């Protein structure tokens, strides 16, 4: 019989047999005792419907079994099954963290080609549902990632404001400048702050530089966001801008871009999708 080879089954079977034998023996003993009981001794004095009670001390065996049961219950609760046990959730978490470590060490120093390949994979799974497989935003349902960081977007942000990314300075109010002013500031951000940018309105860069004083209050004179108090404009649209969007999410005039900061993507996967998204607008 196969199941008898299992120690637990065997122990259980032996335990069950012992319990049955003990029960039969003890019950037999008491039946006999009831039949010819000639009990004598001191009564407590109380009677219940004529039945008296001997004032005998607690049987030692019973007391020991009672204490033993308490000790066993404590052992069982603390060291036995409920606390110190195998848990599927624990095993799952352990396996995920082992896997993540293996994954990160395997891709510790990815080259550009590796990042692009991995980034495309991540993009198609995580981002394409909203931004579309081409990244164009499915007719305005999400941001058009092929036109990130354009001057037009900066103008739109200045006119409409920006909120929801969780920066310490909170919301950026709408309408800080009118359309002409915003266009000039955008030209300065693209061609003055960003090192290699080329504005469509080079003649407005100087005017934009003056107007940037309005923005410098929060974004800093160098546009770098004053140590994380507001987003950096010096790299608007670039890779670390994408990293910030993934970290904070983005709530704007189009809708809500969810944050990806819950461990769904590892660091190298974020770098990869950033590299890939940046390539979309090159």
Which residues form the interface with ligand HEC (CB under 6 A)? 126-127, 129-131, 142-143, 145, 148-149, 153-154, 157-158, 162-165, 167, 169-172, 176-177, 185, 214-215, 217-219, 230-231, 233, 236, 241-242, 245, 250, 252-258, 260, 273, 277
CA dist list (Å): 58 to 33, 69, 75, 233, 279: 19, 16, 25, 84, 85
Q: How far is the CB of 131 from ligand HEC (least distance, A)?
A: 6
Q: How far is the CB of 102 from ligand HEC (least distance, A)?
A: 22
Task: Show the tokens assigned to 63.
Answer: 């007391």
Q: How far is the CB of 259 from ligand HEC (least distance, A)?
A: 10
Which residue number, 79 or 256, has a Cβ lying nearer to ligand HEC? 256
Say how far apart CA 282 and CA 135 lie, in whole Å.
13
Q: How far is the CB of 108 from ligand HEC (least distance, A)?
A: 21
Minimal CB distance residue for ligand HEC: 252
The CA dihedral of 263, 267, 270, 276, to the nearest 10 degrees, is -150
What is the CB neighbour count within 10 angstroms for residue 206?
A: 13
Which residue number, 202 or 258, has a Cβ lying nearer to ligand HEC? 258
Which residue number, 115 or 230, has a Cβ lying nearer to ligand HEC? 230
Which residue number, 204 or 257, has a Cβ lying nearer to ligand HEC? 257
Which residue number, 87 or 139, has a Cβ lying nearer to ligand HEC? 139
Say how far apart CA 208 and CA 183 lie, in whole Å.
8
Q: How far is the CB of 132 from ligand HEC (least distance, A)?
A: 10
Do the Cβ atoms of 167 and 228 come closer than 8 Å?
Answer: yes
Which residue number, 46 or 196, has a Cβ lying nearer to ligand HEC? 196
Q: How far is the CB of 146 from ligand HEC (least distance, A)?
A: 10
Buried b vs exposed e over 246-282: b needs ≥16 C-beta within 10 Å?
bebbbbbeeeebebbeeeebeebbbbbbbbbbbebee
Task: Show the tokens assigned to 185.
Answer: 């500031």
Catalogue the long-range contacts made by 195-201 (C-beta closer than 8 Å, 24 or more residues apart): 199/151, 200/151, 201/151
């Amino acid at each position: 019989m196969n199941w008898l080879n299992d120690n637990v089954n065997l122990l259980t079977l032996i335990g069950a047999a012992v319990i049955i034998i003990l029960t039969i023996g003890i019950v037999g003993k008491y039946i006999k005792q009831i039949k010819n009981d000639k009990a004598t001794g001191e009564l407590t004095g109380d009677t219940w419907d004529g039945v008296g009670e001997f004032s005998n001390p607690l049987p030692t065996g019973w007391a020991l079994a009672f204490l033993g049961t308490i000790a066993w219950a404590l052992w069982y609760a603390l060291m036995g099954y409920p606390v110190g046990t195998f848990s599927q959730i624990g095993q799952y978490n352990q396996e995920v963290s082992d896997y993540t470590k293996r994954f990160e060490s395997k891709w510790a120093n990815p080259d550009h080609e590796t990042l692009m390949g991995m980034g495309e994979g991540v993009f198609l799974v995580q981002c394409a549902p909203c931004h579309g497989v081409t990244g164009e935003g499915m007719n305005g349902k999400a941001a058009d990632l092929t036109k990130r960081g354009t001057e037009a977007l900066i103008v739109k942000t200045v006119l409409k404001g920006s909120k929801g990314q969780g920066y310490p300075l909170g919301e950026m109010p709408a309408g800080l400048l009118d359309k002409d002013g915003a266009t000039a500031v955008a030209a300065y951000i693209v061609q003055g702050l960003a090192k290699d940018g080329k504005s469509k309105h080079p003649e407005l860069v100087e005017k934009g530089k003056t107007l940037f004083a309005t923005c410098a209050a929060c974004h800093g004179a160098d546009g770098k966001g004053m140590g994380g108090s507001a987003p950096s404009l010096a790299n608007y649209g670039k890779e670390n801008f994408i990293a910030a969007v993934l970290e904070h999410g983005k709530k704007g005039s189009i809708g809500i871009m969810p944050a990806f900061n819950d461990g769904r993507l590892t660091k190298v996967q974020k770098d990869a999708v950033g590299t890939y998204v940046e390539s979309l607008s090159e």
